[in-house]
């Protein structure tokens, strides 16, 4: 199967910056009280639900996976970039990391208690996000939890400066309202939302869950 150009470009970019990126995010959560709060609440809910595994999608060098592991969650990471996965395995040898695409996960239906996509959906154009959210819904068990973090805006694209070797990247400053609507259409119930001002762009964290088996219409609506 031919790899779409979007995935090829994203993989190439992260393969070339893996070492520097890993160094930059070391100790990130020591400086990020709101991120710790959202991930902490997510981990508490997953543990209370029975502790099924959690996939950290777009895991990069594995710092979020390791943070979740430290919170008592059975977390593993998946990333498109083989070099990022190599770095994650080196820096966190006790944890599981795999190369893969979050739009086509090599996981059975309903296997996971949680999915985290922490600043990793922002390379996907807004029109393609429903594909990701349908895949997240597929791999979550009934009642499973979802947590997204991303740069916020009005769905406008941003292109990073092309380097001398021709490698560049594109991101999308995603609308929290429209992302939330897409999640509902994908079958999720909204459970929490946090917005904040970042150093460069605003940010958003959205939490949701796949309704439990046999949930009433009111439960599915989040009431």
60-111: per-residue pLDDT in tens?
999 999 999 999 999 999 999 999 999 999 999 999 999 999 999 999 999 9
Put the strands of the sheet holding 97-99 in their side by side order: 97-99, 75-79, 54-57, 112-118, 140-151, 202-209, 189-197
Pairing of strands 189-197, 202-209: antiparallel
Q: Please, which residues bridge with residue 193 across strands? A: 206
Burial of residue 73 (number of CB atoms within 10 Å: 0-12, 13-18, 19+): buried
CB 55 within 8 A of CB 116: yes
Report the alpha-carbon angle 25-198-158, nearest 5.
85
CB 126 within 8 A of CB 172: yes
- Domain 5-220 falls under CATH 3.40.50.150: yes
pTM: 0.90
Query: What's the whole-number average pLDDT of the chain?
Result: 90
Confidence of residue 162 (pLDDT cuts 50, 70, 90): low
Domain boundaries, the chain: 5-220
Confidence of residue 223 (pLDDT cuts 50, 70, 90): very low
Residue 100: DSSP 8-state: -
């Amino acid at each position: 199967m031919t790899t779409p150009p979007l995935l090829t470009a994203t993989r190439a970019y992260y393969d070339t910056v893996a070492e520097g990126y890993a160094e930059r995010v070391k100790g990130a959560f020591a400086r990020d009280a709101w991120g710790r709060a959202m991930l902490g609440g997510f981990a508490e809910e997953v543990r209370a639900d029975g502790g099924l595994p959690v996939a950290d999608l777009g895991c990069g060098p594995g710092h979020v996976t390791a943070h979740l592991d430290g919170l008592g969650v059975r977390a593993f990471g998946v990333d498109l970039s083989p070099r990022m996965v190599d770095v994650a395995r080196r820096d966190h040898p006790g944890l599981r990391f795999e190369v893969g695409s979050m739009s086509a996960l090599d996981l059975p239906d309903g296997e996971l208690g949680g999915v985290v996509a922490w600043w990793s959906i922002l390379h996907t154009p807004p029109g393609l996000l429903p594909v990701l959210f349908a895949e997240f819904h597929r791999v979550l068990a009934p009642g499973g939890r979802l947590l997204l973090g991303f740069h916020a805006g009005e769905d406008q694209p941003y292109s990073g400066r092309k380097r001398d070797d021709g490698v560049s990247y594109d991101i999308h400053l995603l609308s929290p309202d429209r992302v939330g609507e897409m999640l509902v259409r994908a079958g999720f119930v909204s459970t929490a939302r946090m917005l904040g001002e970042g150093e460069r762009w605003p940010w958003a964290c959205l939490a949701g869950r796949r309704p439990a088996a046999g949930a009433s219409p009111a439960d599915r609506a989040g009431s």
